[in-house]
Structure 1
């Protein structure tokens, strides 16, 4: 058993879906599907109103960058983004479902301005308490003023160019609110983490934030849909609490360059990233020449990477390296853009296969706290399934709230498994409401790719990264 904590709510998911690449539905579909399987009841704590202050960002990001992305003038509909229709699309679907079923559910906010008012109430309460989820003592916080009274316009060319606030990282409506809620959701997971000592019994914590894992953000630059690097801030917060041996494992299709760069000279922070490494593929970093085993590990992989490859990499490389580091805390970035059905169409991992790899790590290191974060994944229907299945797998194994060792909510393994009825069930209509349609051979959604990851290539990676004498 372990203490299970998750940060998730309708409020958080609606805020998270302000991020343009979420297509206004990724986070809400995940939260709703997890709720449909009644999984929140098995957690020891469900954080519904996460929050942090811009001051917390200064533990990694530069003051000038933080000022640029947290201006009050961004907490409103911006001139080029004044329509509520896209953001509110799921509200209409939910209203139709509620009318047909007469069932009630957690309150949803009808407009972004209404959502922002809820955020302001949370902010006022937390500011009055002089407390953010980071929980740094106020006297030790950097003594700088974040609020900016600058008259620079939203599209100021100098600001946009300097901090890369265009392309896949535009300034969007309510950006500051989005950052404070989603970053706060990650930082809120560590309040109950304590180091084990000889004098007290170890209470393991497994924390989840599906809206976290923004691994590309650099110290003073936005990159790859990432503005604030919540992972680096999380590691800094863990160090502040006295944890020194920390391992970070990144399963995202893209190299975790922001985290890699932040700790490339550290001997106590281990970063391991599995990613596609091919010419022209973002971010273009993470080759073998950047490795410094056993603490800085980049595992460059090719098109077509599959479950068998993943199982080999985790068993032969990742686990032996974790064994060397002996971490007190393991942070897992579980980006799902390598899953079959993702719009990138580069890897062909299955939901079961990626979940199994992550669970292998969680199961093996029973004396390590675990933080599981989200990340990439650009098919919202695939991601809602994956995040729900991984949540279910963790709950089924580790919840202390399961009666007689049984969990009533099941996600069947067979191909006829139908998604639980809930407010957004009609989003899955074109996929015949099947849970496993992306994994089942022969289905219209299951597309096989040519696999360029040959056995000899993977064996060479193993020899390069894990000396034979270090295998355990």
Structure 2
């Protein structure tokens, strides 16, 4: 039996979109499209008030770093960020849609960040956290910067809270909600029972998680807290001995890799773009320690065919070797065709199939699916929804006879259903698959520098005692 868990709500999506790189709309567009297809009703548990404490963050991050992130003065509108216009851009669109017809709003939207924070405080109060527990835990942690006196500017530079990871209004609330949404999934995940036939398999989803760059005391790549590491640590404490982490993001999952690079119990597999000058500049073949620490560096132009070959010939055999009890998947979509990075040309169909293949192949494993990169918000809402829909229609116990009423059809003329943010898809002519439609100027073809020879080199480095895949199963030349 499979049980589906998701952390998703209007509140969570509006908090997640405080993060500037979300374009102030990425999470809200995903949530609204999930609602447009009525997908949340097919989950066994929907977590709508996620939260984690400062103590939870200390399980991985340093005390002095957490102190800086969680300053109470940051839970307010900052002087350099007085305008509500950016964050509030979708509220007017939503109100206009509801006012234009006889439509009933089932969930409250928050029209200012202050209102959002007032709601957050009620959730924080419900957690019944002891006020002195954070200080007690903090004092027991010994960190190398504790004895060093630094100015505030020096601290910000030390923690990289400038540049790509600036401080922003309500940063502590954002961290506690988005990280809490990932950690809340762990509450529903238990060790498999000795009798595998009676085991309940969990598939958990948090599209606002997957912050894979953050390290113990440094923000990086739009990631302030590493929710993935915190989740895996919790699972280990719960008794899970073998965990596999698979990262599909365009960028190397360096923060997760570094956290577990000396562990024999945690397997980290990262497939990413590796080229001179591309962030974060790590993740080449030389540092691999197969099968537990594996990097699969790709070049510009990666397509569906090549990715599928990598999954079948490298990733699945690696996971087979590790024999995990749970798989954590970071499903960043910044490699999708149409993303602002324009480095890979994966389709929504292609990336979804690869992720589903892992879920379907390892049926005795729990699975946690997290979000990650993806900087075309309109594409990401489609991708997250399509992957959710596929998981629901295959695994939901609430789908009668495995049929689901809300279909996402494959035809290029298939339109996105009417919902509160439908007007944002106007430039795509409201088509769900506009970025994959042949001849559409949104569907660009890149030169693929990933050759069969490159795949053979990766395979040989990762599996030095095995023969490379036969030519018949290699991807065609670019």
What range describes the TM-score normalised by the shorter chain of this pair? over 0.9
1:89-111 Cα shifts (integer Å, max 9, x gaps): 10000000001122122210010
Question: Among residues 385, 390, 398, which one is paired with 2:382 in the alignment?
Answer: 385
Alpha-carbon contact 2:460-2:466 (below 8 Å) kept: no
Task: Output one character per residue of 1:274-323: Cα deviation in whole Å (capped at 9) or x when no partner.
Answer: 00000000000000011000000000100000000100000000000000
Shift of 1:467: 4.3
Name the counterpart of 1:123: 124
* Structure 1 length-normalised TM: 0.94
Partner residue of 1:29? Answer: 29
- 1:324–1:470 CA contact under 8 A, matched in 2: no
CA shift, 1:454, in A, is 0.5
1:442 aligns with 2:439: yes
Q: Say if 2:290 is the partner of 1:299.
A: no
1:195 is displaced (CA, Å) by 1.1
CA-CA distance at 1:345 after TM superposition: 0.3
Query: 1:225 & 1:357 partners in 2: Cα distance?
Result: 25
Assess if the C-alpha contact under 8 Å between 2:252 and 2:272 holds in 1: yes
Secondary structure at the counterpart of residue 85 of structure 2: coil
Find out whether 1:353 has 2:350 as its counterpart.
Answer: yes
- List per-residue Cα deviations over 1:146-171 (Å, max 9, x = no partner): 9xxxxxxxx93122111000111000
Alpha-carbon distance change, 405 to 284 in structure 1, aligned in 2, over 3 angstroms: same
Q: Which residue of 2 aligns with 1:142?
A: 137
Query: Paired residue for 1:72?
Result: 72
Matched, 1:454 2:451: yes
Answer yes or no: is the 8 Å Cα contact 2:211–2:224 preserved in 1.
yes
Q: What is the CA-CA distance between 1:405 and the residue it aligns to?
A: 2.0
Task: Give the alignment partner of residue 179 of structure 2, picking from 178, 183, 202.
Answer: 183
Does the CA-based 8 Å contact 2:165-2:219 persist in structure 1? yes
For 2:468 and 2:280, the matched residues in 1 are separated by 31
Gapped runs of 5+ residues in structure 2? 142-150, 470-478
Larger deviation, residues 370-379 vs 399-408: 399-408
Aligned to 2:408: 411
Q: What is the match of residue 166 of structure 2?
A: 170
Asked if the contact 2:63–2:138 (Cα under 8 Å) also holds between the matched residues in 1, the reply is no
Of 356-365 and 1-10, deviating more is 1-10
Count residues with an aligned counterpart.
Answer: 457
Contact 1:320 1:470 in 2 (8 A): no
Structure 1 residue 470, shift from structure 2 partner: 9.5
Q: Distance in 2 between matches of 1:388 and 1:197?
A: 32
- Equivalent-residue separation in structure 2 for 1:357 and 1:31 (angstroms): 23
Would the alpha carbon gap of residues 269 and 33 (structure 1) be closer, same or farther in structure 2, given more than 3 Å must change? same
Measured in 1, the distance between the counterparts of 2:390 and 2:463 equals 29
| 2:280 counterpart residue number | 283
**Aligned counterparts of 1:466 and 1:264: Cα–Cα separation in 2:** 18
Alpha-carbon distance, 1:219 to partner? 0.6
How far has the Cα of 1:233 moved from its partner?
0.2
Question: Paired residue for 1:149?
Answer: none
Structure 1 gaps of 5+ residues are: 132-137, 147-154
Kindly indicate whether the alpha-carbon contact (under 8 Å) linking 1:169 and 1:222 is maintained by their aligned counterparts in 2.
yes
Map residues 155-234 of structure 1 onto 2, 5 A cutoff.
156-199=152-195, 201-234=198-231
Find the aligned partners of 1:287 and 1:467 in 2 and give their Cα distance: 16
Tell me how far apart the structure 2 counterparts of residues 332 and 166 of structure 1 sit (CA, whole Å): 29
Q: Is the Cα–Cα contact under 8 Å of residues 215 and 257 in structure 1 kept in the other structure?
A: yes
Matched, 1:330 2:331: no
1:242 pairs with 2:239:
yes
Q: Which residue does the alignment assign to 1:134?
A: none
Structure 2 length-normalised TM: 0.93
**What's the CA shift for 1:325?**
0.2
Number of the residue aligned with 1:112: 113
SS in 2 for 1:433: coil
Answering whether residue 8 of structure 2 is matched by residue 13 of structure 1, we say no
Cα distance in 2 between the residues matched to 1:384 and 1:18? 17
Q: Distance in 1 between matches of 2:241 and 2:194?
A: 17
Q: Secondary structure at the match of 1:127?
A: coil
* Corresponding residue for residue 307 of structure 2: 310
Alpha-carbon separation, structure 1, partners of 2:356 and 2:379: 19
Q: How far apart, in 2, do the equivalents of 1:471 and 1:44 lie? A: 43
- Residue aligned with 2:416, SS: coil
RMSD value, Cα? 1.9
